[in-house]
Every structure is written in C-alpha cells, then in structure tokens.
Amino acid sequence: MIEQNAVFQDADNKDPKCHHLMCFEGDSLVLYARLVPAGLSYPNHVSIGRIISAPHIRGKGLGKVLVHESINACDRIFGVQTIKIGAQARLERFYEAFGFITTSDVYIEDGIDHIEMTRAPTHAL
C-alpha cells in the first residue's frame, strides 16, 4: 500500500467484519489478504481484497500460494460460492489462472487501473 501511495488504516471500516489471511517471516508480515463476507464489498458475493506481498519475496511463486489459500479459506469460512475481486488490470492473466473472469471495464482506483473479476464456485484449483 505504501508503494502505491495508498496509506490508510481501515479507511472503509470493514476490517473488523473480515477474516485476515497473513503469513509472517519472523516478525515481518510478508503476505496478506483480506477475506470479505458477502454484502460488505459486493451485495451478493464474498470477496478477496488487499492481496499483498512484500517486495523481497516477489517472483518466488508465493503470490500464487496466497491466492490459492485465500480461495480455499473463503470456501471454508463462507461456504463455496462465487468470489468477486477488484483486481489491478495488469494482473488480469494472473487471476485468470485461478478461474477468475473479467466482468467490468477498466476503472481507476487510487490512480491505478482496476477491473472487477469473478470466480464461479465450480472451478476446481
């Protein structure tokens, strides 16, 4: 978030109602995703957001592990259902590998091109 000049603490007041998937390296947070129940970000869909990785671990495949585990955690916590995300447009192919399909035109969020994507519950990892 600092890299993208989007520094804030729970600006949308959703954190207390969400689940948080975190991976630490010692005392340092290196991977994080916010698992959002249906009705909080999208009326009829659960969501995964704030998918982040520390710069020093990028390129090691851990982002794929994080997304995979986030999907599995959503299925366990919220029940198997469609997952909707607001993805950076440059990562469209990355999320397509997990069964997400683009469902919106490009929009700007925090000065970055984004797209909405959904993943049907029947897609197996």
pLDDT tens column, 19-67: 999 999 999 999 999 999 999 999 999 999 989 999 999 999 999 999 9
Q: 57: burial class by Cβ within 10 Å (0-12, 13-18, 19+)?
A: middle
- Which CATH superfamily groups domain 15-119? Gcn5-related N-acetyltransferase (GNAT) (3.40.630.30)
Q: What is the model's pLDDT at position 2?
A: 36
What is the pLDDT at residue 14? 85
Q: What is the model's pTM?
A: 0.86
Helix or strand or coil: residue 56? helix
- The structural domains of the chain, with segments of one domain joined by +, span 15-119
The answer, yes or no, to whether residue 88 has pLDDT greater than 50, is yes
pLDDT greater than 90 at residue 107? yes
Q: Where are the alpha helices (DSSP H) in 4-124?
A: 62-78, 92-96
Sign of CA dihedral 90, 114, 111, 73: negative
* Structure-model confidence comparison of residues 123 and 72, the more confident one: 72
Under DSSP, is residue 96 helix (H, G, I), strand (E, B) or coil?
A: helix
The pLDDT assigned to 80 comes to 94
Q: Which residue has the higher pLDDT, 12 or 34?
A: 34
Q: Residue 12: CB partners within 8 Å, gap ≥ 6?
A: none
Round to whole Å and give the CA distance between 98 and 119.
8
Whether the per-residue pLDDT at 124 is higher than 80: the answer is: no
Q: Looking at residue 12, what is its pLDDT?
A: 63
